[in-house]
Amino acid sequence: MYSASYRNLSEIVSKQIDLDCSITNLMAMSLPIIFSILSGTLMYMVDRVMLAHYSFNAMNGAAFAHQAIEIFMLPLLSFATISEVFVGQLNGSNQFKKSSDPIIQIAVFLILIWCLIYPIAMHCRHFFLPESIWKDGNPYFRVGMVIIPFQIIFSSIAAFFVGTRRPKMILYSVLVSNVVNVLLDIVLVFGIGPIPAMGAQGAALASVIAIIIASGILGLCFVSTYNAENYDTRHLNVDFGILKKNITIGAPYALSEFIEMSICVTVLIFLEKISMDAVSIQNVGVTIWIFFTFMSEGFQKGVIALASNCIGAGKNFLIKRLIRSMLIVTCFFGVCSFIPLVLLSEPLLYYAFKISEPLLLPDFKLMLLLLWITYLILLPAQSCLGGILSSGGDTKFVTGVKISSTILCFAAPLCWCYFHSQLTALTSWWLGIFQQIFNGTFFYCRYRKGQWTHNLMNLQR
């Protein structure tokens, strides 16, 4: 027998699933996620801007080290993030008491894995950090690796709130931590009173404290009385069936993230051998790109949550309208982002990064145009298509395409350019366009064939 609150919860979710995946519904689901991710990416952007004003070498060292850290972090977060598919399908099929099971057990599993890879990462950091950025990159890397377990906790619990269609909780926790990060950046990067200026290391310390606060706030929300009663969030109910599926479904994404981040670091290593100006162009571009990922990641999570809930409820026919809504919204945000990135590129570069050298400005401006085309037009569209495929458990295909495009459209041409002395600061940005077109084409063809839809909860039973 259901309790009264449990019956009410069932009725609420049933009404939510009856929504028609219109633009209004997509925005209502995605906007809280977008703003929460925006707060996180703004935290990263603020770190880099402050470091650029403190010392451009410190900014380059921190950016270089951060991408090295993500080689170890992003594969683990892939498992945490993909658990929202299981939560969404459990939630959509009204199995509320099981919805927290994927979250708790995958978080414990990932933290144990981090304990194994931490000493390996610390021992191998010399391979990722060239001597030219070692002074600022090494302290940032050492502190930044401590962020990973807290980021795992945050991402796992965030997946629960996304899967149960309550992303506002994520927004509140990130907003508080973002304010803390900005204040700590001012103090620790530049130094105030008895506190010395720490540069890149100070930025890393500020990020660690901020993510601990965000994880703590979201953790308290997770074990609240309401969630404990309706979702059984205060008990670790190990379901090895779901854990195995979570690892199986998440493994392709983890492999893809590992390969992509390894190649990103390789790009920086190649560019460092050309000139530090080339490294600076790449790091500024990556910083701005990461800031704007709030759009692609936010809509992807919103699409996954809606699509997985629809699949769990047996209403797959709504997904076609979801795609149309997603494409319209993507075009709208693409037009809005054109203004700061392309029309106002010079003020952006000067006030954010103190870049005003006439000889470098043309390359920086062209990089921003390529970034806009690749990551604010093409990437959000293919990410949402990939998210829909993932909501049906088709992650092996998604990962196969991403790995293939990374190797064929990006890594192989990049290596050819490097070994034939044709590599420039803009090569990777040109190649990114072809990679996103490759991904989007294959994702759309897969969607049209209709072979991607699986109700993972039915398979489990």
pLDDT of residue 303: 80
Rounded to whole angstroms, how far apart are CA atoms 330 and 107? 32
Domain for residue 13, yes or no? no
Rounded to whole angstroms, how far apart are CA atoms 257 and 73? 9
Domain for residue 10, yes or no? no
Number of domains in the chain: 1
Give Rg (Cα) of the chain.
Answer: 22
Rounded to whole angstroms, how far apart are CA atoms 125 and 231? 41
pLDDT of residue 10: 38
Query: Phi and psi for 237 in degrees, rounded to 5?
Result: -95, 95
Grouping H, G, I as helix, E, B as strand and the rest as coil, residue 192 is strand
List the one residue out of 369, 362, 360, 298 whose CA is nearest residue 337. 369
**Lowest-pLDDT range of 79-88, 220-229, 451-460:** 451-460
307 close to 319: Cβ distance less than 8 angstroms: yes
Residues across the chain: 461
Confidence category of residue 21, pLDDT binned at 50, 70, 90: low
Domain for residue 65, yes or no? yes
pLDDT of residue 4: 37
- Number of C-beta neighbours around residue 320 at 10 A: 12
Domain for residue 30, yes or no? yes
288 close to 341: Cβ distance less than 8 angstroms: yes
Report whether pLDDT(427) > 90.
yes
Would the pTM of this model clear 0.85, i.e. be above it?
no
Confidence category of residue 456, pLDDT binned at 50, 70, 90: low
Report whether pLDDT(9) > 60.
no
Domain for residue 31, yes or no? yes
140 close to 61: Cβ distance less than 8 angstroms: yes
End-to-end CA distance of the chain: 20
Domain for residue 403, yes or no? yes
3-state DSSP percent of the chain in helix, strand and coil, to 5:
85, 0, 15
pLDDT of residue 100: 81
Rounded to whole angstroms, how far apart are CA atoms 243 and 342? 45
Confidence category of residue 216, pLDDT binned at 50, 70, 90: very high
Report whether pLDDT(43) > 90.
no
pLDDT of residue 149: 93
85 close to 249: Cβ distance less than 8 angstroms: yes
Rounded to whole angstroms, how far apart are CA atoms 66 and 341? 23
Range of the domain at 381: 19-455
Domain for residue 14, yes or no? no
Token reading at 85: 């598919």
Grouping H, G, I as helix, E, B as strand and the rest as coil, residue 394 is coil
pLDDT of residue 392: 77
- Interval 150-206: pLDDT, tens: 999 998 888 888 778 777 778 788 888 888 998 999 999 999 888 899 999 999 999
Rounded to whole angstroms, how far apart are CA atoms 71 and 76? 9
Q: Considering the chain, what is the average pLDDT of its residues?
A: 84
Rounded to whole angstroms, how far apart are CA atoms 408 and 413? 7
Confidence category of residue 454, pLDDT binned at 50, 70, 90: low
Rounded to whole angstroms, how far apart are CA atoms 200 and 18? 49
Domain for residue 249, yes or no? yes
% the chain with pLDDT above 70: 92
Tokens 């458990």 correspond to 393
DSSP per-residue string spanning 265-328: HHHHHHHHHH-HHHHHHHHHHHHHHHHHHHHHHHHHHHHHHHHHHHHHTT-GGGHHHHHHHHHH
- Interval 250-286: pLDDT, tens: 888 888 889 989 998 999 999 999 888 999 999 999 9
